[in-house]
Chains A and B, each alone.
Chain A
Amino acid sequence: MTVDAVGLEVMGEAFASIAEEMGLVLIHAALSPNIRERRDCSAALFDARGEMVAQAAHIPVHLGAMAEAVAAARAQAPRPGEMFVLNDPYTGGTHLPDITLIGAIDLDGQVGGYSVVRAHHSDVGGMQPGSMPAGARDVFAEGLILPPLRLTPEVERLILANVRTPAVRRGDLAAQRAAVERGGDGLRALVARYGRDQVVEAARDLMAYAERRTRAALARLTTTRLTATDFMEGDGIDDRDLPITVAIEIRDGVFHADFTGTAPAAAGNVNCPLAVTRSAVLFVVRTLVPEDVPMNAGVQRAVRVTAPEGCLVHARWPSAVAAGNVETSQRITDTVFLALARGGVPVPAQGQGTMNNVTFGGVGSREWDAGWTYYETLGGGQGAGPAGPGPSGVHVGMSNTRNTPIEVLELEFPLRVREYALRTGSGGEGKWSGGDGVVREVEALAPMEASLLTERRRHPPCGAAGGGDGAVGRNLLKGGLLPAKVTARLAPGDILRIETPGGGGWGHLGEEKT
């Protein structure tokens, strides 16, 4: 029996609200500003076969990259009711700060599905506060590695013993656990109402529906082979350009991206496990599909991603990966968008193409922790599109985190924000202008370390269809220019200023706006 049109809508809503509810539980109960204010987290529900049934729309970089986590947990022969934790980028994870909890949902004594919550913990130990070190040369330097493990009190003690902010981590993990459990409750309630068979059937039909809609949208696009190359501006160890090359073919409603020609894995931390590359491509495909299509494994079935093993976007153990998830993923979407734009697909010009990762850390500002860490990413300009200008001061591409309110930041950390403004005029010119970047100027009130992982400081975001490029970003310490990826010591009174890139313009300047 297949679920009819009505059942599809009803069950789609039911699954989606379970995932949304999981996310709300986490955000409302978490301690760290990165999770509760910036909402750097995602929640999803999987079926017993490990296919994603629903995901709360939070952070694109987590999109579709959670199936690997479920597969990794399933390889551990989960028993009903068990909960797993992992962050190993080479076994189900993305980068170490993203700690994923996977609950095997107990349905009448069997594993009836998986409840998954991924959250960016702004401290998983390693060589530097904030666990996003710019100079890491392997994954070991980046923090504590958690292969898929049953989340026992012992494992939790191990995690807490390896981080600089154990009390905050403990609170965040408690909230994350509560969110996972809520997902299990939600699925059980659904099964109690409709019966197990009906729920399983509905999940499969929803995936088939999403796949149908995705293929239908892709089938409307051109089928010629499209290619593009774009560059990463160094790997944190040296600043040589690292090319990312993509060839795209859309055939029979399947979007195939192949990354042959991309640079080999780098010595620094800009490498991506294939899961991240896949979610970057999936994100681009998602923007080509109508927004109301439910996000589940069905969308993924219409996407194929290949890359030579050992290259930048398909890195092998033990390459360092902290920035791969946040920066290289952005460049992958940029490169794919660029190829599509050249092929006449109506996609926007490139956006800022970076998350402008800034991590601050020091010792002893909060009394209950050994140290403090603060992680933020900054919005910038979105590229303009065929239909209008690019939005300003927003996260583009693979991020959609919120900012930390200044009043939260200054109450919790020894920092003072001196300026937070739009970077007027930084968007590229065109018939429609690109969005403006932002300016953020912060003063250190105590000795601390700051780590910057940024991009688009050299190669600007490209305009499209004759539009101008966006302005490159700039990092300044005490008025002097800093490299794109760097770790610096700040003394009290030192001022760090970040100017984020503008988005590319679309169409020729002066063209009539219709």
Chain B
Amino acid sequence: MVRVGVDVGGTFTDLVAVEADGGIRVRKVASTPADPATGLFRAVETLGAAAIAVLVHGTTVATNALLERTGARVVLLTTKGFEDLLWLRRQDRAALYDLSRAYPDPLVAREDVIGVAERMGGGPEGEVAPLTDQEVRRVVGAVRALRPEAVAVAFLFGFRHPEHERRIARAVESALPGVPVAASHEVLPVFREYERISTTSAEAYLRPRVSAYLGRLSGKRRDGSIGSISAWRIMTSSGGTLAPEAAAQRAASLALSGPAGGVVGARLVGEAVGILDLLTLDMGGTSADASLISGGAAVSEGAGTVAGVPLALPAILIETVSAGGGSIAWVDEGGALRVGPRSAGAVPGPACYGRGGTAPTVTDACLVLGWLDASHPLADEVRLDRAAAERAVESLGVPAGAAGIVEVAAAVMARALRRVSVARGIDPRQMTLLPFGGAGPMFGCALAEALAMRRIMIPPHPGVLSALGLAAAAERVDVIAPLHRRLAELRAEDVRDAFGPLLAQGVGHLSAATLTRFADCRFAGQGYEVTVPAPQDNPETIETAFLEAHRARYGYGERGDPVEVVNLRVVAERAVPGPRFRAKSGGRPKPGKREITVWGERVTAEVWPLEALPAGFSFEGPALLAGGDATALLEPGWRATVHASGAVIGERGGR
């Protein structure tokens, strides 16, 4: 039985199959943006596998619906007097100095917001103004008249007192069967009304689209034309996977489904090698995603904003910058060389693709520097034209030329890496950088140096690591509930009782799962929480863990100041058979040679076949690793050793 991961990207759809014995097979087909399912099934067909046990899918359907604003028509029900909250946002402006810039429109039209006469307060008593039967009837009538495709319900303090939300949601559901209703106390039961209303609206907005897509997948799966797939899982932004039926009810949690797979893959490789603290960088065609793996776990945080829509759901920490292979280089009026955010995309693409592009891109620079091989096509139909790349780079008129472009691109990516590490109080110097994606492995050494890191790791199959992560991701579900209590006033029984329903939910989603408990804590009065493991009921152990984490992050944290538990979280996880990462045993590959430019100097680099290197083999930079799906660069001053897993570990010499 085979587990399959499918990563549908903007240009390529990558598939990785992990056999029962851990063996890995890779497929790459062109994506079909009009209906991503078509490309997905084409990839599955090329595999020709008899029986697939599980297919895990990383999808950009939710992301693209947000980007392109092609979700459902949503009616939003909110507390009367607060109908404008989605427009008021947090009152800070879209740009500090560009005074006319407007925020993207919310997902709901203003005329589709209905104020409901009701009010909950924050205190234990809850109700401040009742929700009358008459009001429920009025609201249901008004909703029906608007003929929505989905309904969002988000009242003030609904996270703590959900009774009113629940009543109106039930009334709407029974009056409009088939119209999905998302209520804020289910979608995101935490405080800060704007972020909760925005997230709940996004859930309603995405739900019809996501369920339709997942339904189409199930339909094609059932018609039997592509062999047998026993089970499907969909990757969420938090790196967990959900059954399609559950995913359809948690559509907003798929907003970062695509990049999450890569981080999971990076974590797996790290585990196989025994490196548990990693900075990861997934560099694709138009952007690069940085993330962080700490102590063997992907770091989770609220997603912040996706496509201008605030989403406060748990998500793997991902910082995206506009620096991909297709990002265009230019010179600004002050004479500084810049890269991105404009991208040549797949069409016309970099100048060297010969598809009509003339603007110099990062890929063109890599080709001019000799990092990419013009005689080695990127994919079947893309042959690289070195002369075109040179013309494009020269048109910039910058003496640094191609070397400058890659250095600036590296600076932009370094900033994303800093934001996930240094900016969060985490020192990257003792960590290992794991670059992947089609273009990432060429930048590993430069980025490591920019962050004063000494070690990089080129994973096996760097170009399809996201799909690999999907195939081998542990099945994982995150559940959360608010608590808002002082630690000092909690007894061990209170902690146990509060976790009870969450643990039950976790098992409900994922039977036979390992359950891990966490508490979001802060000093009373702080507005942001630090999430710490809470394996024991004793509140003192939670406090100790919090103080340690706070000290590590902010440099202070004394016992004695009151500590609050804001939310409890449970992560349910079920491991799956992992891939077998194994380097070739024995044999000494023969290197090719190529003239390349690194740091402005012409050097002769050895060119090694990435997949043919035996375990224990070591070599020095300058060197290129030519893989089937990506090329890696080991700069001068670096030495690399092939790990038994097939990962190549590069270490910086003593300079």
Contacts and interface: CB of A to CB of B under 8 A. Distances in A.
Interface of A: 4-6, 8-10, 13, 17, 20-21, 24-25, 27-33, 36-37, 39, 57, 60, 167-168, 171, 174-175, 177-178, 181-182, 186, 189, 192-193, 209-210, 212-213, 216, 283, 286-287, 289-293, 348, 351, 368, 378-379, 382-385, 387-396, 400-403, 405-408, 410-411, 416, 418-422, 438, 441
B87 A292 contact: no
B194 interface: yes
Given A21-B423, A36-B528, A5 B335 contact: yes
B591 interface: no
Complex A-B, nearest 8 residue pairs according to Cβ-Cβ distance, in ascending order: A36-B527, A31-B525, A379-B91, A402-B90, A213-B334, A419-B81, A385-B100, A10-B411
B479 interface: no
B422 interface: yes
Contacts of A210: 334
A216 B554 contact: no
B528 A348 contact: no
B155 to A, nearest CB: 11
A393 B87 contact: yes
A8 B412 CA distance: 12
B68 interface: no
A348 B194 CA distance: 28
B192 A407 contact: yes
Given A5-B337, A388-B100, A421-B83, A171 B523 contact: yes
A37 B90 CA distance: 9
A151 to B, nearest CB: 14
B202 to A, nearest CB: 18
Nearest to B418: A17
Given A24-B423, A30-B527, A290-B333, A401 B92 contact: yes
A400 B94 CA distance: 10
B84 A421 contact: yes
A438 B82 CA distance: 11
A421 B82 contact: yes
B561 interface: yes
A282 to B, nearest CB: 11
25 contacts: A5-B335, A6-B407, A9-B412, A10-B408, A13-B412, A24-B424, A28-B527, A36-B526, A36-B527, A60-B96, A177-B556, A182-B425, A189-B452, A193-B452, A289-B97, A389-B100, A389-B102, A390-B99, A391-B102, A407-B192, A416-B128, A418-B81, A419-B82, A420-B82, A438-B88
Contacts of B103: 391
B383 interface: no
Contacts of A407: 122, 156-157, 159, 191-193
B34 interface: no
Contacts of B523: 31, 171
Contacts of A192: 452
Contacts of A292: 332, 338
B91 A31 contact: no
A4 B422 contact: no
The size class of the interface chain B forms with chain A is: 35 or more
Contact of A402 (B84, B92, B156, B336): B92
A360 to B, nearest CB: 17
Interface of B: 81-85, 87-103, 121-122, 128, 156-157, 159, 191-194, 331-338, 398, 400, 404, 407-408, 411-412, 414-415, 418-419, 422-425, 450, 452, 523-528, 550, 553-556, 561-562
A25 B193 contact: no
Contacts of A441: 81
B191 A408 contact: yes
A387 B100 CA distance: 8
A290 B338 CA distance: 14
Q: Specify the main secondary structure of chain B where it touches its partner.
A: loop
Contact of B408 (A9, A291, A382): A9
A168 B91 contact: no
Given A17-B419, A441-B81, 8 more contacts: A4-B400, A6-B408, A17-B418, A213-B333, A291-B98, A351-B99, A396-B93, A419-B82
Nearest to A36: B527
Contacts of A293: 334
A186 B422 contact: yes
B414 A420 contact: no
Contacts of B414: 10, 13
Contacts of A384: 100
Contacts of B555: 178, 181-182
B554 A25 contact: yes
A178 B554 contact: yes
A21 B337 contact: no
A441 B82 CA distance: 11
B330 to A, nearest CB: 12
A212 B334 contact: yes
Contact of A348 (B87, B100, B336, B450): B100
Given A17-B423, A407-B122, A420-B84, A30 B336 contact: no
A388 B102 contact: yes
Contact of A32 (B91, B100, B525): B525
Contacts of A395: 91-93
A209 B408 CA distance: 16
Nearest to B339: A9
A266 B381 CA distance: 75
Given A368-B562, A385-B99, A394-B92, A209 B334 contact: yes
B98 A8 contact: no
A390 to B, nearest CB: 7
A392 B89 CA distance: 10
A348 to B, nearest CB: 5
A239 B117 CA distance: 40
Nearest to B100: A385
A28 B521 CA distance: 12
Contacts of B156: 406-407
B336 A5 contact: yes
A403 B90 contact: yes
A401 B96 CA distance: 11
Nearest to A288: B97
Contact of B333 (A60, A216, A368, A421): A216
A382 B422 contact: no
Nearest to B417: A17
B415 A17 contact: yes
A402 B193 CA distance: 13
Given A10-B407, A213-B334, A407-B191, A291 B97 contact: yes
A351 B407 CA distance: 42
Contacts of A283: 97
A128 B90 CA distance: 28
